Chain A
């Protein structure tokens, strides 16, 4: 059919299924589908998010209704005692609606609390406060202290890692290939680490959000999107500039550090992490190799301007600050899962890119891709990340 056949009638043809859908919806809404059953009890599926303690005399449970029916909360039990409460905005929580259950309760610092929400049908939903500490509110002081945490676990180690650049530049070709392979190893570790974290958070989302498929699909779309963008960066050249590769590694690592920041901020706010010296040290050790990874592609190039290193450090480590802010003040499982999924896609893309660099180098030097150097670097990268990860379980 030619273009000339696309008249107004053609538009109508396109609208035909939509018209049918409209009629069907109208019929269903007015008459029902005829397959409902009234004898089954309503399905109540309330997902409990965070429990915050904004004051010394309040517990606040954040809930979201992921089930097909509204849920009406009628009673609240705190540590085996029925307790006063109010629900904002309303104790009837509509499908996909969110609410805050505010419980006036003078809690004891450092103790654990078990909260049970009871719906009108007697169904219960559990929430817990593992360690009762005041949830930091939003103030200039907390804002800067969260920023400091993010700075410690993100910017500092990445910057320190980048400081290896002059040292690494004096390595021979084999040494530089070792560092590139090491970068691939640590990135592979980060992909898995980020993916598992994203899936864990996604599994806590209300069922209606289909969290796990969403994470995987967002990661894939990010990967394909970045691969497409990378072609644009090449601007007709065979390869993108190595500096651009460094930037993309920094971006992927930045997403990963954003995820770390989210986890740390949330755990810190909930009192789950005594963010002590040990943990800060652990993160510094864990993330210092990320700086090496970012520097690896530009080892063989003319030394980029100093400003580039500052920008790379900020891009790779800075998101940790953003993460601690979001995690501490406005934590959302949905947003966290999406951020982390984007991170997975971004890191996958740089694994592909750095892997290609390595392959091209080995093709040029006519050495096998899986040479001892490359395998050793890969293993070292994974091993370093694995061992240092032992220090930083939040």
Chain B
């Protein structure tokens, strides 16, 4: 997204104690996690996340609708996309580990679709075999685990087509202990095959080629920045993320280190390679003001749209 979240994002107040739990349903809206660009306009994700307390446990409900829409993926070029809630990438879904998730999925498009979440869940919640046809609904319900940065996407065959058309989004499970306070942003690295020849014509983070070059992302000097980077690129096996003039702590998949059990970075670098479906959290700050580029270090992708600028302010 490139658009910083407020510092309070992710702090969820579970309402209702254990004693009240059986009867009490309280609703709290949380701040939307992502802003998406659609046809070149900044469109906030609708506030679809609802926090309920059931049996003293936070239940988080989302509504996702698959539909067909047209998206301007580069100035002047309109792509016929398949989208969750009319946006590509789909809304970022966010929860804290251990919470219950309930995702109501409705298919308003002529093709059958599903939602396949990365994470732990029963087989019938895997969004693979239970095709949701035109006009049908399905409710996915499972616990939010493990903590980390994941993704969700359609898993209907032909799989590649259902992903590349735009049916994907970021899925964040915050660790119980939380992460240090930071300005956060979601960057879904994607591309579009506008002439249907099984290769991408346009590359980007969050869909629109060169968008963050034309509209630099404002960040504060010295402020901790956290980027949730998800690679959903199809056709090309490798994508990458490169920051100029700063290094980042990289947390692969945002999960705990399997040996220490702690959330700790695996490396300190300025360039990271991502395979298909690979994602990770990057934390960094800038020591100097001014415009700094960030882009795929696969130069071809950079020059075909996956390029942006951080505007660092004093």
- Interface with A: B24-32, B244-252, B300-308, which one? B300-308
Inter-chain contact A118/B300, CB cutoff 8 Å: no
Give A108-151 as 1s and 0s: 1 = Cβ < 8 Å from B's Cβ atoms: 00000000101111111000000000000000000000000000
Q: Which listed residue (B75, B78, B210) contacts A122, Cβ 8 A?
A: B78
Among A72, A75, A120: residue with most chain B CB under 10 A? A75
Which stretch from A77-85, A187-195, A225-233, A259-267 is at the chain B interface? A77-85
Contact of B303 among A72, A74, A81, A124 (CB under 8 A): A81
Shortest CB distance B307–A (Å): 10
Q: By the criterion CB–CB under 8 Å, are A124 and B194 in contact? A: yes
Give every chain B residue within 8 A of A120 (Cβ-Cβ): 76-78
Distance, CA A122 to CA B80, complexed state (A): 9
Chain B min CB distance to A123 (Å): 5
B209 near A: Cβ within 8 Å?
A: yes
Contact yes or no, A77 B201, CB < 8 A? yes
B residues 262-278 in Cβ contact with A at 8 Å: none
Q: Which residue of B lies closest to A83 (CB)?
A: B303
Whole-angstrom CA separation of A82 from B195 in the bound complex: 15
Residues of chain B lying within 8 A (CB to CB) of residue A124: 194-195, 197, 201
Chain A interface residue count, CB cutoff 8 Å, equals 15
Instruction: Tell me if B304 and A118 are in contact (CB < 8 A).
Output: no
Contact mask B282-302 → A, CB, 8 Å, 1/0? Answer: 000000000000000000100
| Residues of chain A within 8 A of B300, CB atoms compared | 80-81
Q: Contact between A122 and B304 (Cβ–Cβ < 8 Å)?
A: no
Q: Is B142 an interface residue (CB 8 A)?
A: no
Cβ of B192 under 8 Å from chain A: yes
Q: Does B74 contact A (CB under 8 A)?
A: yes
Is the C-beta of B138 less than 8 angstroms from some C-beta in chain A?
Answer: no
A122, B195: Cβ atoms closer than 8 Å: yes
Select which of B76, B192, B195, B210 is within 8 A of A74 by beta carbon.
B76
Whether A74 and B77, one on each chain, are in contact in the complex, defined by CB atoms closer than 8 angstroms, is yes
Is the beta-carbon distance between A122 and B76 smaller than 8 angstroms? no
Asked if B75 and A75 make an inter-chain contact with CB atoms under 8 angstroms apart, the answer reads: yes
Given contacts A122-B77, A122-B79, contact A82 B194 (CB under 8 A): no
Interface hits, B134-185 → A, CB 8 Å: none
Residues of B within 8 A of A123 (CB): 194-195
**B305 contact set on A, CB distance < 8 A:** 82
Please tell me which one of the listed residues B78, B197, B210 contacts residue A121 in the complex, with CB atoms under 8 A apart: B78
Residue pair B76, A75 in contact (C-beta under 8 Å) = yes
Q: Contact partner of A82 among B78, B197, B303, CB < 8 A?
A: B303
Number of A-B contacts (CB under 8 A): 52
- In the complex, chain B residues 183-216 whose Cβ is within 8 Å of any chain A Cβ: 192, 194-195, 197, 201-202, 209-210
Chain B residues with CB under 8 A of A77: 201, 304
Contacts of B195 in A (CB 8 A): 118, 122-124
- Within 8 Å CB of A121, what residues of B? 77-78, 194
CA–CA, A72 to B73, complex, Å? Answer: 16
A122 to B196 Cα, complex, angstroms: 9
Complex Cα spacing A72 to B72, Å: 14
A111 vs B73: C-alpha distance when bound (angstroms): 31
B303 partner residues in chain A, CB cutoff 8 A: 80-82
A43 vs chain B, min Cβ distance (A): 14
Give Cα distance in the complex from A80 to B75, angstroms.
Answer: 17
Q: Is the CB of A118 within 8 A of B77?
A: yes
Chain A residues whose CB sits within 8 angstroms of the CB of B210 once the complex forms: 82
A32-82 interface with B by 8 A CB criterion = 72, 74-75, 77, 80-82
Q: Closest residue of chain A to B73, judged by CB?
A: A122
Q: In the docked arrangement, what's the CA distance between A118 and B304, Å? A: 12
Complex CA gap A340/B119 in Å reads 68
Q: Quick one: given A120-B78, A122-B195, are A81 and B304 in contact (CB under 8 Å)?
A: yes
A10-B249 Cα distance, complex, nearest whole Å: 93
Separation in Å of the A69 CB from the closest CB of chain B?
15
**What is the CA–CA distance of A238 and B212 in the complex, to the nearest angstrom?**
84
Given contacts A77-B201, A122-B194, A123-B194, A82 and B74 within 8 Å (CB-CB): yes
How far apart sit A80 and B296, CA to CA, in the bound complex (Å)?
14
B209 and A118 contact, CB distance less than 8 A:
no
Q: Tell me the complex Cα distance, A123–B75, Å.
A: 14
User: In the complex, what residues of B have CB within 8 A of residue A119's CB?
Assistant: 77
Whether A72 lies near B76 (C-beta < 8 A) is yes
Q: Restricting to A169-219, which residues have a CB under 8 Å from any CB of B?
A: none
What's the Cα separation between A76 and B303 when bound, in Å? 12
* Interfacial chain B residues near A81, Cβ < 8 Å: 300, 303-304
The closest CB in chain B to the CB of A91 belongs to B76
Q: Which of A82, A118, A121, A124 has the most CB of B within 10 A?
A: A82
Query: A72 — which chain B residues lie within 8 A by C-beta?
Result: 76
**What chain B residues lie within 8 Å of A75 (beta carbons)?**
74-77, 202
Complex Cα spacing A161 to B55, Å: 105
Q: How far is the CB of A140 from chain B (nearest CB, A)?
A: 41
Complex Cα–Cα for A338 and B56 (A)? 85
Q: 9 A-B contacts, Cβ less than 8 Å apart?
A: A80-B303, A81-B300, A81-B303, A82-B210, A82-B303, A118-B74, A120-B77, A123-B194, A124-B194
What 15 additional pairs, Cβ within 8 angstroms, besides A77-B304, A82-B304, A124-B195? A74-B74, A74-B75, A75-B75, A80-B300, A80-B304, A81-B304, A82-B202, A82-B305, A116-B201, A118-B194, A118-B195, A119-B77, A120-B77, A122-B79, A124-B197
Interface residues of B, Cβ cutoff 8 Å to A: 73-79, 192, 194-195, 197, 201-202, 209-210, 300, 303-305
